[in-house]
Structure 1
Amino acid sequence: MIHDSKERYGSISKWLHWLMGGLILWQFLKFFDRINDGEHWIGQTLVPWHISIGALLLVLVAVRIFWALGQLKQRPRHDPATAFMVKAGHLALYLGMALLPITGILTMIGNGYGLKVFGVQLVAKGPEIAWAASLGGLHSPLAWITLLLVIGHVGMALLHHFVKRDDVLRRML
């Protein structure tokens, strides 16, 4: 089943969810740069892909939003008692997923580093742009907030599965 239904999410929604979840976890490995100045396996092997993976996530966020909007009428419904909180939590996650790569790009361009994605120079190195660097300064605080949102998201999924014993998690598996 490619499309979503009232009972469960379709294969495209699931694929986007789990692919992005894995890539976001990879992005969170950047926090290990704060340990020993990144002089370890994670810092030297996985973290160098941070900018490219961030750019890919920005594209996937756009794809996922358009896909979700197209599936809106047939998507599984939330418990009316908690629907507002569920929607607010997901909106916060989507904002984090969109704003993190945008502020990352602003950091790179604003500090004059240019933007290289998967080996392709998209924006050449140039002069510093104060307003872009300033907005890019929100990248790190947004990363911490998004990390907390992801932990909450996973925690709620596990709560639904193991405590409430409903089908909320199964709809995305």
Structure 2
Amino acid sequence: MSRDTRDRYGTVSRLFHWAVALLVFCQALKLFDRIDDGEHWVGQTLVPWHVSIGVLVLLLMVPRIAWALRNRGNRPPAPPPPALGLLARAGHVALYAALLLMPLSGIAIMLGNGYGLSAFGVELVAGGAEIPWLASFGGAVHSPLAWLLVAMVLGHAGMALVHHFAKRDGVLRRML
């Protein structure tokens, strides 16, 4: 599988990117669960998979970050002005951090409330005693971070479209 080059993201980077993008899109549909108490197709079809998909996002993000760090020398230099390049890098770091913190805070809710953790029908952690501070941490972080992540993803996609249609600099084509 090809590594990243200065002209194009490699196969592994693109697989990680689009797999996580698809999973995050499915997770974002959970926001519709707030409509009519989840009594619609999103609430009945996707929400039961929310925890499993979150675990899968976490399992993909760990090697994705390792892969990104391994390939960071192959990325093209930041475009001028330098402040915009710094802002773009900070945005990517924030996205990666949120994509780690979202599933971790969700797991904190599950374990903190004593539910245990199962993904795709496999019990990963048995239910047990409640851990109030862990449930409190997860509950305080998960929902606000979800809204922030939605905003960051929309900003990320929006900037990709700006690069493609306004700047015409080939940034989007590198990931397609």
TM-score, with structure 1 as normaliser = 0.96
Q: Does structure 2 conserve the Cα–Cα contact (< 8 Å) formed by 1:4 and 1:75?
A: yes
- Please say if 1:57 is aligned against 2:61: no
Residues 107-144 of structure 1: CA deviation (Å, up to 9, x unaligned): 00111111111101111222211110011011000000
Shift of 1:69: 1.1
Letter in 1 for 2:41: W
Which of 162, 165, 169 matches 1:166? 169
Task: Give unmatched runs, 5+ long, in structure 1.
Answer: none
After superposition, the C-alpha distances for 1:39-60 in whole angstroms (9 at most, x for unaligned) are 1111111111110110011011
Partner-residue secondary structure (3-state), 2:171:
coil
Q: CA separation in 2, counterparts of 1:113 and 1:61?
A: 24
- The runs of at least 4 consecutive aligned structure 1 residues that moved more than 4 Å come to none
SS of the residue aligned with 2:124?
Answer: strand
Give the counterpart letter for 1:122 in structure 2. L
Aligned position for 2:148: 145
Distance (Å, rounded) in 2 between the aligned partners of 1:66 and 1:80: 27
Give 5+ residue unaligned stretches, structure 2.
Answer: none
Any idea what SS the aligned residue of 2:128 has? coil
SS of aligned partner of 1:103: helix
Residue type matched to 2:151 in 1? L
| 2: CA distance, partners of 1:72 / 1:80 | 18
Q: Which position in structure 2 is the counterpart of 1:88?
A: 90
The letter for the 2-side match of 1:108 is M
SS at match of 2:72: helix
Matched residue SS, 2:77: coil
Count of residue correspondences: 173
Q: Which residue of 2 aligns with 1:100?
A: 102
| Structure 1 residue aligned with 2:46 | 46
Q: CA RMSD in A?
A: 1.0
